[in-house]
Amino acid sequence: MKSKLMSGAVVLAVSSVVAKVLGALYRVPLTNILGAEGMGMYQLVFPIYALFLTMSTSGLPTALSRLVAEKKTRGESSKKFLVATGLLLAAFCIVSALLVAGLSLYISKLQGNVDTRIGFLIIAPSILFVGGIAVFRGWFQGNFNMFPTAISNIVEQIVKLTVGLTLSIILAKYYGMIYAVYGALIGVTLSEVVAFLYLLFLYFFKERKSKTEELKPSREEFHALRKVAFPIALVAIMLPLSQFADSFLIVNLLKGQGLATEVSTAHYGLLSGPVASLVNLPIVIMLSLAIAIVPNVSAGRVNHDLQGILQKSALSIKLTYLIGIPSALFFLVFARPILSLLYPSISVAELNLSVVLLSISSVSIIFLSAMQVYTALLQALDRPSLPVRNLAIAVLVKVTFTVILTSRFGIVGTAASNVLMAFTAYLLNALSFRNYIGKDIKLVKNIGTILFSGVIMALAGYAVIALLENPYIALSLGMVVCILIYGVLTLIGNTIDDSEAVSLPFGGAILKMKKSLRFWE
């Protein structure tokens, strides 16, 4: 089961990296086409869209994957849960799409930029197709098949990249920046349509030879889904809810400081666009691990396999630190060359501000990544109410400090409040997990080794920047140097033991390198 957990997590992680690379290939030229103000408009639409999308689809797909995994472990049929989930999501998504479209004018006025109204109308239909995507992903994940989710992620990004950029370029040339934003949003909607059609075809192709089952769900299936999905949905809605609050608060708070609407929107666009895209890259990899954890740990709970649950939990949390800590330090060290390379069209002042924002925001990578894994573990162990409470507290902390710090320090204060929210959620989730399990997963030594390795890596990165004048050469060489130094130090420090290494991709190669480096053993 540990091997299956890791193979599923690796499939999702690799696809997430590919999808994020494609997303970067999309975001970078899109930012250069739209500019900071255009990206600000684009990002004003997205939090509202994400909130309604999360309200419609969150909880049910994860609940479906968990219930299907448990049924599969017992050898029982689970297709009634698939139908019940599809019916519920169809109803929720139709209502949400109508609300986004119907309230578009009112929302755009409250945000302080009425030009976003058409954007809401364009993106509203995609909610229907995302609901369908969520159903099929939950089904396949519950059957321990992560490939459909992985491929559909990549399909979404390819369509969004090709269609969105093409339309943005054409519309920017002939109609201006606002219509270029609309073109990008059309690309998003079409990407969801294509991904849905892919999963629909794959489902019927795989199920065409399966035996006929009773598909009409009863109250029992709806009750089970509601019981599992409701607290999971509450967790999932917390982060979009905080972004929803940001879309109303930040531009208006910045305008209250005397900044013009265009400048306020541009500052918000820098934080929520280029900076957030970079910070989210390692976090998405950890989200892949969190998605893979739920059905595996749920199956362990059904089998009363406490030792297996503890092993999966320890490895998952350790991998979170192994990836999150060096990622945060790398962005901290190389913030300027990364941003100047990816976003050459932004002004010097916007670049300087973005460097500060990325340096601050990079810290949240560690906390948000670990928070997601702890949330997934608590959900899989049938304690989903704990992360609900913890995230609610964290969002309250964020909103409070957003108002205080943004009013005093501008958009830099907003970035700091995001880090405070991430730390609060992480700390509360970690404590809840330890209290529920009743045992402390002993990772202090490993975390110490990871931190030490990360700090040495960061110092080496600073040395490369100091020695090389060309920032792009420094970035390229620095990445290689950092990876080598960090990898060698973590292997020498025995961060991953032999049994864990076997369950990882290229486990044999990792073991050989580890034994050659730890020659004294």
How many residues would you count in the chain? 521
- Per-residue pLDDT band at 515 (split at 50, 70, 90): confident
State the pLDDT at residue 104. Answer: 86
Residue 10's Cβ-side half-sphere holds a number of Cα atoms within 13 Å equal to: 11
- Indicate the average pLDDT of the chain: 81
State mean pLDDT over 333-355: 89
C-beta neighbour count of 515 within 10 angstroms: 12
Scan for tokens 């140097």, then name that residue: 481
State mean pLDDT over 100-118: 83
Q: Does residue 201 carry a pLDDT above 60?
A: yes
- Per-residue pLDDT band at 13 (split at 50, 70, 90): low
Q: Is the model more confident about 141 or about 136?
A: 136
Q: Does residue 505 carry a pLDDT above 60?
A: no
For residues 161 and 26, give the distance between their C-alpha atoms in angstroms, rounded to a whole number: 5
For residues 91 and 100, give the distance between their C-alpha atoms in angstroms, rounded to a whole number: 15
Q: pLDDT tens digits, residue range 293-330?
A: 555 555 555 555 566 666 777 777 888 888 889 999 99
Using CA atoms, how far residue 367 sits from 51, 145, 173, 276, 328, in Å, is 22, 28, 42, 15, 10
State the pLDDT at residue 469. Answer: 83
Q: Does residue 191 carry a pLDDT above 60?
A: yes
Q: pLDDT tens digits, residue range 42-94?
A: 878 877 777 777 766 667 777 787 777 777 777 667 778 888 888 888 888 89
Q: pLDDT tens digits, residue range 385-435?
A: 888 889 889 999 999 999 999 989 999 999 999 999 999 999 999 899 888
Scan for tokens 């472990």, then name that residue: 73
Coil, helix or strand at residue 75: coil
User: Are 95 and 158 spatial neighbours (Cβ–Cβ below 8 Å)?
Assistant: no
Q: pLDDT tens digits, residue range 272-294?
A: 878 888 888 787 766 665 555 55
- Per-residue pLDDT band at 2 (split at 50, 70, 90): very low
State the pLDDT at residue 116. Answer: 82
State the pLDDT at residue 501. Answer: 66
Q: What percent of the chain has pLDDT over 70?
A: 83
pTM for the model stands at 0.69
Question: Which residues contact residue 59 at a Cβ distance below 8 angstroms, ignoring those fewer than 6 apart?
Answer: 228, 229, 230, 231, 232, 233, 234, 236
Using CA atoms, how far residue 230 sits from 48, 244, 367, 385, in Å, is 20, 20, 24, 9
List the chain domain ranges.
2-207+220-441, 442-521
Q: Does residue 213 carry a pLDDT above 80?
A: no
Closest C-alpha to 261, from 116, 150, 418? 116
State mean pLDDT over 375-383: 79
User: Are 230 and 313 spatial neighbours (Cβ–Cβ below 8 Å)?
Assistant: no
Q: Does residue 135 carry a pLDDT above 80?
A: yes
* DSSP string across 492-515: HTT-S-HHHHHHSTTHHHHHHHHH
State the pLDDT at residue 481. Answer: 94
